[in-house]
A and B are shown apart, each in its own frame.
Chain A
Amino acid sequence: MKKIILIIQREYFSRVKKKSFLLMTFLVPVLFMGMMALVGYLVAKQNEFGDKKKVEVVDENGMFKNKLKNTGTLEFTFVADNYANVKGNFLNSGYDYLLYIPGTLTGTQLFSEKKASAITIQNIESSLTDIASSQRLMTAGIDTAILAKAQKPVTIDAKQLTASGEKDAQTYVAYAIGLLSALLIYMSLFLYGAQVMRGVIEEKVSRVIEVIISSVKPFQLMMGKIIGIGLVGLTQFVLWIVVSVALSAGAGTMMMGSSNMAKTEQVSVLKNAGSADAAVAEQAADSGMGKIMQSLESIPVTYIIFCFLFYFLSGYMLYSAIFAMVGSAVDNETETQQFMMPITLPLVFTFIISMNFIINNPDSSLSVWLSMIPITSPIAMMIRIPFGVPAWQLAVSMVLMVGGFVLTTWAAGRVYRVGILMYGKKASYRELAKWFMYKE
């Protein structure tokens, strides 16, 4: 045990003391936030950045004239000339698109030299549909005032009705938390798993391995390495959270102005105190930022963080054991390719399924199954957790997960102890199986 602790210490401090670790700790949150801000900015200002496309419109019965409004990216010009002429001159006209609307509306066509983007087609289609349907309703004798009222959009307020009462469902927040934690687990399994693999290869290539295992058991060395690097991962996460919170608090203050933040703070203080003013204050804050903060408060943060840490650690243990096994079987990093497939495939598969299916159907039987199988559950379950998972499912999944990593580390350890002493032998899956069977 003392020796495992020594190994853990070495693995941990030799990484944490590196300059690159410090750099990653501060750079990643900054880059991440910067990227988010940039994306947000571009989305908000896309109309200003996108190129203006010029569209000439031949509208046979003048139904859309003055109604088809220019958007940020599309500028419509109605031409009076006849369709055949316009079409003939289109390539030399300087316009990007030619929109032809026949009198009957059926057979409306959009011409362009290059392929039109899907979003452009969708935008034009929906504008035309809106205008046409209003037009038709008006022709049918419906008053414009009624029409305006009729077209007012409906927003849904999603609530959960449970035995303990009614509460806001916070679907979007759940969505975001699920995505974020699954993404983090997915990335960190690769990141830290690969570090374990590289560490094993380093010991093998530098031949320090034989000295070490004349002092400790190979399994102790493997576990020490896995735990040490896992702790590096945990440290990194904690630091990222601290740095991100600090950064976003800073950015938030700058962007919102301090008054808004103070208000939200005040609300929570009052709420905690159970003061009569709480309702009043809550109303005041019940908009924009206040609403988001409120949703965040209703999410069981400790529960989610606990689950996240559990699935990160157990998933990491399971995958890094396999990574360690791969590292022990090869003589250098380029040879690892052939063994990477079985590791990356389930991870990538789960990740894609999670992003596209589980997040929209968190309670479907496929989602439940994927969140039970140890190789897929760290990602699949983290997607489901913010939506609420029955306690028994979580318990079964966790028990299977623990069983899964114990079994995997045991099996990987058997291959590892032989592999680290093998040089110059091109390892195949059959070879690995043989190593697994070796007695001692």
Chain B
Amino acid sequence: MISIRNIVKQYASHRALDNVSIEIEKGKVFGLLGPNGAGKTSLIRIINQITAPDSGEVLFNGEKLNQSHIERIGYLPEERGLYKKMEIGEQIMYLAQLKGLDKAEARRRIRYWFEKLEIQEWWSKKVEDLSKGMQQKVQFVATVLHEPELLILDEPFTGFDPVNAEIIKNEILELNRKGATIIFSTHRMESVEELCDSIALLNLSHKILEGKVKNIRNNYRNGTYILEYEGAAVQVGGGAPFTVLSETSADGHHQLLLRLNAGSRINDVLQFMLPLASINRLEEKVPTMNEIFIETVSKKNQL
């Protein structure tokens, strides 16, 4: 869908993007991650043709990015806003027409979305009369109204209460099921794990990690497990197939964080423990995206 190839973007004194290449597959939810100032917004602006790269190119379905693609992209910027004094209906009509919809079609689709989100009575309200969360909802409608093939959402959930965040999340997933490719820029790693198929991690203008979420988490597995059991505390001696990293106990409940010794398998752990205790839980501790994010970024920044 989108191929970003060797993009360099230089501002007066600093380089916002340094030779960044990313592939985004059609129909997938793609997470664009990175700490503040990593270059995410610069990259998003280039895809939106708000700015142009100094070198490198972006391909949209194999074509070099051009003006005709603008109407096929929907963009929800992180710093969002609407005209404060304009009526909501009129305002979305305007934004939709700028994206190439004709009047009648725009009106029909706004009705559809307003009904879906149960905000019909907002049509002739002014933006300044709405709460922040309500404004976000309106802005979301404006972003998806022209049924873009590519949706770029920069922190789409900020400002929403949990109920509305859930509604918006489901709308995004539904659009994705209907075929829209989604680029999702965020700091909230739990939503990355929940929503994204693949991610790219930017840090200090470079791409430092890219791939499927599942694969990345697999690669970061390091053989640590969580084991919980009840009863008397087990003394783990030299003969055990694992090393205890940490241990917590309360009221006869024990939790171990352990790492397998070289050559051992998880079944060996069970075999060792079964005669000694009644086991409640044994689970591999796969690092979360959050942990991977922090680990990768801080490792890089130390260098």
Residues of chain A touching chain B, judged by Cβ–Cβ distance below 8 Å, are: 3, 6-7, 10, 14, 202-203, 206-216, 421, 423, 434, 439-440
Contact = CB atoms under 8 A, between A and B. Distances in A.
A14 B50 contact: no
A3 B98 contact: yes
B12 interface: yes
A210 B77 contact: yes
Interface string B72-99: 0101010111111110000000110111
Given A206-B82, A207-B77, A207-B79, 14 more contacts: A6-B98, A10-B94, A14-B83, A206-B81, A207-B81, A208-B80, A208-B83, A210-B75, A210-B79, A210-B80, A212-B95, A215-B95, A421-B51, A440-B51
A430 to B, nearest CB: 11
Contact of A216 (B52, B82, B84, B98): B98
A311 to B, nearest CB: 32
Interface in B20-51: 45, 48-51
B54 interface: yes
A195 to B, nearest CB: 14
Nearest to A9: B94
Contacts of B202: none
A6 B77 contact: no
Contacts of A440: 51-52
A329 to B, nearest CB: 15
Interface in B130-149: 139, 142-143
A203 B95 CA distance: 14
A24 to B, nearest CB: 17
Closest 10 pairs between A and B when the two form their complex, measured CB to CB: A207-B81, A440-B52, A206-B81, A215-B98, A210-B77, A214-B75, A214-B48, A207-B79, A208-B81, A6-B97
B70 interface: yes
B272 to A, nearest CB: 59
A214 B73 contact: yes
A33 to B, nearest CB: 31
Nearest to B99: A215
A421 B77 CA distance: 12
Contacts of A214: 48-50, 70, 73, 75, 77
Contacts of B81: 206-209, 211
A434 B10 CA distance: 13
Interface of B: 12, 45, 48-52, 54, 70-71, 73, 75, 77, 79-86, 94-95, 97-99, 139, 142-143
A14 B86 contact: yes
A439 B52 contact: yes
Contacts of A216: 98
Contacts of B98: 3, 6-7, 212, 215-216
Contacts of A421: 45, 50-51
Contacts of A206: 81-84
Contacts of A210: 50, 75, 77, 79-80
Contacts of B85: 14
A6 B71 CA distance: 15
B95 A211 contact: yes
A434 B48 contact: no
A211 B80 contact: yes
B75 A211 contact: yes
A302 B248 CA distance: 95
Contacts of A211: 75, 77, 80-82, 95, 139, 142-143
A15 to B, nearest CB: 10
Contacts of B82: 206, 208, 211
Nearest to B94: A10
26 contacts: A3-B98, A6-B97, A14-B83, A202-B84, A203-B83, A206-B84, A207-B80, A207-B81, A208-B80, A208-B81, A208-B83, A210-B75, A211-B80, A211-B81, A211-B82, A211-B143, A212-B98, A214-B73, A214-B77, A215-B71, A215-B95, A216-B98, A421-B51, A423-B79, A439-B52, A439-B54
Nearest to B143: A211
Which of B12, B52, B81, B99 has the largest number of chain A CB atoms within 10 A? Answer: B81
A208 B45 CA distance: 15
A215 B142 CA distance: 12
Nearest to B86: A14
A440 B45 CA distance: 12
Nearest to A421: B50
Contacts of B73: 214
B100 to A, nearest CB: 8
A75 B232 CA distance: 121
Nearest to A434: B12
Nearest to B13: A434
Contacts of B79: 207, 210, 423
Nearest to A203: B83
Contacts of A10: 94
Contacts of A3: 98
A203 B79 CA distance: 12
Nearest to A220: B98
Contacts of B48: 214
Contacts of B49: 214
Contacts of A208: 80-83
Contacts of A439: 52, 54
